[in-house]
Structure 1
Amino acid sequence: MRIGLYPGTFDPITLGHIDIIRRACLLVDRLVIGVAINRDKGPLFSLEERVAMVEAEADRLARETGTEIVVHPFDNLLIDCARDVNAQVIVRGLRAIADFEYEYQMVGMNRVLDASVETVFLMADAHYQAIASKLVKEIARLGGDVRNFVTAPVNEALLERYS
């Protein structure tokens, strides 16, 4: 069984994340979506809220793709999380060159820590390249419309949080 791990903070999950999840399902038999606790980023949504949002989208995508999708919160090293869930592949999404520079360093470090876990990069679809959770939150906080960037339930959660 090919197991992939798609890690992120998902604060909140966006249409860009969903695009990467959908495409990653074509590559693996089981996709684990690792929701990072990441207290350093000071997330808008609690871990429980982010996990619930990701689970709702994952359930729909699992039915759509026929791939087993599991949501797994983690607060340890990414490579340790990969080992914990028996992932052979870490899936990362890339939007721009700046993403690649950071990810390139991460891959190098992870290869030293465990060379048996491969990293696969998926380029964001052109429709989603500009979407970043940070920007979505900023737009929502300032009263802008984020319906083109997130699903309806996530939009509602943002509206509620910023009301």
Structure 2
Amino acid sequence: MSGIAIYPGSFDPITLGHLDIAERGAKVFEKVIIVVMVNPHKNPLFTIEERKELIRQAVRHLPNVEVDSYTGLQVDYAREKSSKVIIKGLRAVSDFESELQMASLNRHMYEDAETLFIPTNHKYSYLSSSIVKEIARHGGPFSDLVPADVEIAMREKYKNLS
């Protein structure tokens, strides 16, 4: 184990795929900071604080994982935290193309930054937060896609929205 890694994303909501990447990163690094990135162009289901709390609940079994949020560039956050590693999960080849571009830009802006791509467990390769929200919005089954606390929060959220 070595150093600090950041794991940025919107996590709206955190899925079992995200959790798998966090658990695997936590085995490699002394500390992993899951960073909820603020994107003003998105219309999230959960607030930043709600997402952070749901993530904290999901990773409570990982003592070396922290949760934070940030408005700005992930590379700036990495620099502020003296992290030289940015963790990114990859589901498919389509993810790789955009993430490789981002990794190159991050390296350009922060020369010490390395991006560690972790391929998703095959059982989560189809999974995204958007898909989970779509299923939940229409009352479909999604309990096997998210942590239990997230399922409860999503059911409550959609009940209140209708």
Report the TM-score when normalising by structure 1.
0.94
Alignment partner, residue 60 of structure 1? 61
1:50 aligns with 2:51: yes
| Aligned with 1:111 (options 104, 107, 112) | 107
RMSD: 0.9
Counterpart of 1:46, as a letter, is: T
Quote the Cα distance in structure 1 between the aligned partners of 2:91 and 2:31. 24
Shift of 1:41: 1.6
Shift of 1:96: 0.5
Alignment partner, residue 162 of structure 1? 158
Alignment partner, residue 6 of structure 2? 5
Shift of 1:37: 1.5
1:10-159 equivalent positions in 2, closer than 5 A: 10-62=11-63, 68-159=64-155
Shift of 1:151: 1.2
Deviations 1:43-96 (A, max 9, x none): 11001100100111122222xxxxx11111001111100011111100000001
Deviations 1:89-116 (A, max 9, x none): 0000000111001101101111110110
8 Å contact 2:79–2:110 — kept in the other structure? no
Q: Which runs of 5+ in 2 are unaligned?
A: none
Quote the Cα distance in structure 2 between the aligned partners of 1:19 and 1:153. 16
Quote the Cα distance in structure 1 between the aligned partners of 2:71 and 2:93. 27
Q: How many equivalent residue pairs?
A: 158
Shift of 1:126: 0.6
Deviations 1:14-44 (A, max 9, x none): 0000000000012100111111121212111
| Segments of 4+ moved more than 4 angstroms | none
